[in-house]
Amino acid sequence: MEKGKAVNSFIQSMSIFIIVCILLMPLYLFIQSIPLFREFNPVDLLSGSWDVSDNTYGIGDFLVTSLIIAFLSTMVSLVISFGLALYMHQYKNTRNGKIVYGIISFMTGIPTVVYGFAGIVLLIPFMKKYTSSPSGLCLASVIVILSVLILPTITIYIYSSFGMVNKKNIMTALSLGASREQLYLHIIIPSSLRGIAIAAILGFSRAISDTMVPLMLSGNSLQIPGSLFSSGRSLTAHIAMELPGEYNGLEFRIIFFIGLILIALVVFFNIIVRFMERINE
Amino acid sequence: MSDPFLRAFRVYIWGSVIILLTGLGFFVIFLLIRSAKAISMENLSIAGEIFPAVTGTLTVTVLGLDWLHR
């Protein structure tokens, strides 16, 4: 009994510790950004361009690049993930279905640097040869690799949302003589639309917060990319690139502000997901 | 619902799986071909030296966890 109490209090104290840490993180980022806010208006920082020689430290270009990359990679990934989730659900009790599920589960554990490496050795030479990008380092490369990176997240969520469809509806459709395709098109997919939307949002927040792939494949130029075959820099890649800078300099302080923006974005998307899940209930 | 539509739906599902497997397969084969070039007697002897250390560490960890669990 005493042992149980000790375990309970340990779990509670750990939970409180984690909650406090999570709350302190944005607070710390905000405090560290204060010197920046004394010099610049936060709206100007969010909308402006980055030009150190002109004393402008706007992250607007990076924000736009991040949003473009995350949105397009989510769209690409959603198309393939949806098909994969359908396959896994259709053949969930067969060997092939289990193999595909195993591969998708395995992909969740692959480090992002491996995806970046795969992009560099496989995709970049192809992009260099067949597109207008001179170095191959462009947004299209990032989008292709990021869509593979977020594919397991989206697939597994859609697959689990298919599993939550009311069994009675499925049995009714089958007893009326519906084919397997008709069952999916008329019963399972319409009932899982919210789950699919939540999966897309989760994939989007995973894509916008990834660092390694944009850092390795985007080319990191300081501009809003003119096309998919132009170079650009994401918010996360900018943090990684500015880290070796002078600690007290304004260029370094902007890292904390970017961290704050990224946390705000992820919290915003999480709130939408929770809200949608509540509607689903 | 028209038959071609259902057929297209089926093709789409199988197409997604084929894209995934082709992409992964291509990457694994590429890595194997590149890695095969790096295999030499010198590298193998280094691997042979590391192997007992890795297995030893694993054994100690498993035995330690087993002892803690008792």
Asked if B51 reaches chain A (Cβ–Cβ under 8 Å), the answer is: no
State how far the Cα of A215 lies from the Cα of A159, in Å rounded to an integer: 31
pLDDT higher than 90, residue A221: no
Which residues from A are below 8 Å from B29, CB to CB?
none
Asked if A99 reaches chain B (Cβ–Cβ under 8 Å), the answer is: no
pLDDT higher than 90, residue A159: yes
Tokens in use for A16? Answer: 């409180």
Q: What is the DSSP-derived secondary structure letter of residue A232?
A: B
Residue A34 pLDDT level (bands cut at 50, 70, 90): confident
Residue A210 pLDDT level (bands cut at 50, 70, 90): very high
Predicted local confidence at residue A83, as pLDDT: 94
Domain range annotation of chain A: 2-39, 45-280
Which residues from A are below 8 Å from B16, CB to CB?
79-84, 86-87
Tokens in use for B69? Answer: 């669990």
Residue B24 to chain A, least CA–CA distance (Å): 9
C-alpha Rg value of chain A to the nearest Å? 22
Q: What architecture (CATH level 2) is domain A45-280?
A: Orthogonal Bundle (1.10)
CB contact under 8 A, A182 and B10: no
Tokens in use for B9? Answer: 């739906």
Tokens in use for A220? Answer: 């990191």
Predicted local confidence at residue A148, as pLDDT: 94
Predicted local confidence at residue A79, as pLDDT: 95
Residue B1 pLDDT level (bands cut at 50, 70, 90): low
Mean pLDDT, chain A, rounded, equals 89
Tens-digit pLDDT profile for residues A97-153: 999 999 999 998 889 999 998 899 889 999 999 988 888 899 999 999 999 999 999
Tens-digit pLDDT profile for residues B11-57: 999 999 999 999 888 888 887 887 777 767 777 777 777 777 778 88
